[in-house]
Amino acid sequence: MPPGMNKMTNSNKKIKAGILGASGYTGAEAMRLLLRHPNVEIAFLTADRKAGQPVEEVYPHLGGYGLPDMVSVEEAGWASVDVVFCGLPHGTTQEIIASLPGSVKVVDLSADFRIEDPATYAEWYGHEHRALHLQKEAVYGLTELNRKAIASARLVACPGCYPTAALLSLLPLVSRGLIDADDLVIDAKSGVTGAGRGLKQNTLFSEAGEGLSPYSIAKHRHAPEIEQEVAKAIGRSAGDVRVNFVPHLVPMSRGELITAHVRLTAGKTVADLRAAFDAAYNGEPFIRPLGEGAIPHTQMVRGSNNCVINVFADRIPGRATVIAAIDNLVKGSSGQAVQNMNLMFGLEETLGLEQAPLFP
Binding track, positions 9-48, relative to its own copies; x by CB under 8 A: ----------------x--x---x--xx------------
- Per CB under 8 A, the list member of 51, 238, 275, 313 interacting with its own copies is 313
236 binds its own copies (CB under 8 A): no
200 binds its own copies (CB under 8 A): yes
80 binds its own copies (CB under 8 A): no
Note whether 112 and 106 are within 8 A (CB): no
Q: What is the chain's alpha carbon radius of gyration, rounded to the nearest angstrom?
A: 20
Q: Report the C-alpha gap between 216 and 320 in whole angstroms.
A: 25
Q: What angle do CA 299, 301, 305 make, to 5 degrees?
A: 160
222 binds its own copies (CB under 8 A): no
248 binds its own copies (CB under 8 A): yes
Q: Report the C-alpha gap between 54 and 70 in whole angstroms.
A: 6
- Per CB under 8 A, the list member of 7, 16, 130, 261 interacting with its own copies is 261
358 binds its own copies (CB under 8 A): yes
Give the residue with the Cβ less far from its own copies, 65 or 136.
65
Stretch that binds its own copies, among 44-52, 54-62, 84-92, 332-340 (CB under 8 A): 54-62
Question: Quick check: is 161 catalytic?
Answer: yes
- Measured between alpha carbons, how far is residue 109 from residues 87, 94, 270, 287, 311 in Å? 5, 12, 34, 20, 29
Note whether 243 and 223 are within 8 A (CB): yes
Give the residue with the Cβ less far from its own copies, 2 or 265.
265
- Per CB under 8 A, the list member of 122, 132, 217, 271 interacting with its own copies is 217
- Per CB under 8 A, the list member of 149, 209, 237, 269 interacting with its own copies is 209
Give the residue with the Cβ less far from its own copies, 36 or 232.
36
Give the residue with the Cβ less far from its own copies, 2 or 318.
318
Note whether 309 and 330 are within 8 A (CB): no
- What 3-state class would DSSP assign to 349? coil
Q: How many residues bind its own copies (CB under 8 A)?
A: 89
- What 3-state class would DSSP assign to 224? helix
185 binds its own copies (CB under 8 A): yes
Residue ranges of the alpha helices (H) in 81-155? 92-98, 118-125, 132-137, 147-151
